Structure 1
């Protein structure tokens, strides 16, 4: 039987291990943390959002980044000091701008495929992850943003996703708790939300039941091609595998380099808060429908009855896990302004590094050397896309015979 190592036990690594194990492959899942889903898959925005498939390679992103550089609380914060990694990433980001429409359509298609796999796996393995099928409502505070969204909707429709424009009255009917001045919105009733950490942990348990060897607390120290196989060294020793799949988030760039590949993942920091809805008034005042506020670039998801997750922002600052008060404050203010009846006495802040590639599409499939594969670089859509890309890379490994 072929032996395959999957490096990284976040959402992409665990879904990859599961998809391989279901194909009868002997899988070893290697993770540096003591548990699964302890980095970017720990406390994201919760949205399984095909409606958020628009890639960022657009002039509006560049203009906003330049406009907001002086604001420490900006939704998109680009730190001005240069590094070769950052410069090379942005050069490739600009080069991908002509493919904005094509890549947005491709991402939407991928998200729809992922949705079906993820739902089926959750049902088959009886995974409870606070899944809520109430749709996602995009809200816009001005006419310009709303009209631009119409063009995005046309691209999403090309990818197979339908979302509909809604006026203020319809917005209030969809989510009565929302307060504030808005121009209009777009509603995608087929999208949903859920707790990524709960799902990933549940699927990791399913992997173990299928015979996957889960090696937690094992830091990969070296990777090398050896006699047609791949040697994976950790602090515990080393093993030879017929193939390796790199699903290591922001660590994927260095791993790829050691295997002869250039995978230009950049760590784009995002923040979240989890608001504990301990009292009946807060539970009644919190939104039941998932939201995306275009002006603030924030999303919200109701996780069960007693938690509200609010997440967003993008910070280009290299490998930096600091949770900054000036970046958390806008998330708290958004809750207080849009849902004034929600108490924010008990709030847990978090920050994670999204592994983003310059064209905003994940790297899925073969590397240059035989036996080397990748499933990484999903950026802000790892939760949304992982089940599809796991199937894609598992099929590639299976077809190659290891």
Structure 2
């Protein structure tokens, strides 16, 4: 039985570990935190959204970024301070604009495939993750955004997604709690929501019951390819340790770029910060006034999910500001004000802000597959769709490892 190391215990790392363990691999997971899913997989928007699989590689994104560069509360904010990493990433991003349509279709297909795997994993382990299968409703207040959504819908349909246009009256019928006028929207009944952190933590417990070894609070100091596998050196409360593995899967989010460089690969991930607030619905009025259907406001780039009776998650924005996790009030305030405008009877007195770094590649496509050296694999770079795509890319990664093992056995 091959011994595989997985670097990273976020949603991609945990689903990868589970996919490998259920196929009989001996798996060890390394993470610098005390628990699974403590960074980007802690408090995201909660949407499992094939309907939001449109990639960002189009000129409209560039123009918006330039227009909003000096607006601190803009949905997309780029720190104008140059760095070689940022400039090289943006140059490659623009180079991927011709692939916008193909990548959107491919990402949508992957997102559709991921749903079944994610729910299967949850059923096998017995995961309760505040899942709400009520669909996702995109809403529009500006005609230009609505027109663009119609064009996007043709790509989503090509991938096999059923996302139907709805009138303003239908928007209100689908989510009666909504207290703002819209032009209409698009509704995807097959999409759903859930708590990514609860899911990942429960799945990590399931992995442990299957024999997966977890090294938490592990500071990986060196990763060295030996020719026959990979040696990992790390430091923990037990001191300096070292172990040889037959293979390694890099699922380290924004840390994947540095790890890939040690293994002789270039994985040009840039950290794109996103924010969320979790509104605690402490009173009956707020609980009744908060929506149950998940929403996506395309103009504001804000998504929502209802996490059980007592929590309402609002997330969004994209900030190109390096490896910076500061929680800024001017970035959180628009989320709170959006809630107050769309759901005025929801009390925002008690809401918890959070920020995480999305690992984005210039193509907006995850890197899934082998590296340049034998036994090295990647499942990283999912950007804003890590929760949505993770179960499918985990299965794809396990498939690649299976193929390599059979070749070696032959």
After TM superposition, the score normalised by the length of structure 2 is 0.97
Matched, 1:243 2:247: yes
Matched, 1:275 2:274: no
**Aligned match of 2:55:** 55
Residue aligned with 1:310, SS: strand
Contact 2:278/2:351 (8 A) holds in 1: yes
- How far did residue 161 of structure 1 move? 0.5
Distance across 2 between alignment mates of 1:167 and 1:29: 48
Residue aligned with 2:61, SS: helix
Distance across 2 between alignment mates of 1:254 and 1:233: 15
Alignment of 1:127-142 (within 5 A): 127-142=127-142
Distance across 2 between alignment mates of 1:377 and 1:227: 26
Distance across 1 between alignment mates of 2:264 and 2:20: 24
**Aligned match of 2:27:** 27
Residue aligned with 1:340, SS: coil
**Aligned match of 1:151:** 151
Matched, 1:362 2:366: yes
**Aligned match of 1:333:** 337
**Aligned match of 2:93:** 93
Write out per-residue CA displacement over residues 260-304 of structure 1, whole angstroms, 9 at most, x where no aligned residue: 000000000000000000100000100110000011100010000
Distance across 1 between alignment mates of 2:79 and 2:147: 30
Structure 2, unmatched stretches of 5+, are none
Distance across 2 between alignment mates of 1:255 and 1:121: 28
Distance across 2 between alignment mates of 1:306 and 1:157: 35
2:296 to 282, 292, 297: 292
Alignment of 1:30-109 (within 5 A): 30-109=30-109
Write out per-residue CA displacement over residues 30-62 of structure 1, whole angstroms, 9 at most, x where no aligned residue: 111010000000000000000000000011101
Residue aligned with 2:349, SS: coil
For structure 1, which segment, 97-106 or 120-129, has the greater mean C-alpha deviation from structure 2 after superposition?
120-129
**Aligned match of 2:222:** 222
Contact 2:40/2:357 (8 A) holds in 1: yes
Residue aligned with 2:398, SS: helix
Distance across 2 between alignment mates of 1:8 and 1:180: 41
Distance across 1 between alignment mates of 2:261 and 2:380: 14
- How far did residue 229 of structure 1 move? 1.0
Alignment of 1:297-312 (within 5 A): 297-312=301-316
For structure 1, which segment, 144-153 or 32-41, has the greater mean C-alpha deviation from structure 2 after superposition?
144-153
Distance across 1 between alignment mates of 2:93 and 2:209: 41
Distance across 2 between alignment mates of 1:123 and 1:173: 31
Write out per-residue CA displacement over residues 306-354 of structure 1, whole angstroms, 9 at most, x where no aligned residue: 1000000000000001000000000000000000000011110000000
Write out per-residue CA displacement over residues 185-205 of structure 1, whole angstroms, 9 at most, x where no aligned residue: 000010000000000001000
Distance across 2 between alignment mates of 1:82 and 1:156: 35
Distance across 1 between alignment mates of 2:228 and 2:124: 36
Contact 2:175/2:292 (8 A) holds in 1: yes
* Number of corresponding residues: 402
Write out per-residue CA displacement over residues 221-252 of structure 1, whole angstroms, 9 at most, x where no aligned residue: 11111142111111131111000000000000
After TM superposition, the score normalised by the length of structure 1 is 0.99
Greater than 3 Å deviation, 4+ residue runs? none
Contact 2:325/2:355 (8 A) holds in 1: yes
Matched, 1:347 2:366: no
Contact 2:227/2:374 (8 A) holds in 1: no
Write out per-residue CA displacement over residues 7-35 of structure 1, whole angstroms, 9 at most, x where no aligned residue: 00000000000000011000001111010
Residue aligned with 2:309, SS: coil
Matched, 1:383 2:387: yes
For structure 1, which segment, 224-233 or 285-294, has the greater mean C-alpha deviation from structure 2 after superposition?
224-233
Distance across 2 between alignment mates of 1:346 and 1:272: 13
- How far did residue 206 of structure 1 move? 0.6
Distance across 2 between alignment mates of 1:279 and 1:272: 21
For structure 1, which segment, 218-227 or 278-287, has the greater mean C-alpha deviation from structure 2 after superposition?
218-227
**Aligned match of 2:259:** 255
Write out per-residue CA displacement over residues 348-392 of structure 1, whole angstroms, 9 at most, x where no aligned residue: 000000000000000000000001000000000000000000000
Matched, 1:317 2:288: no
- How far did residue 181 of structure 1 move? 2.7
Give the superposed CA RMSD: 0.7
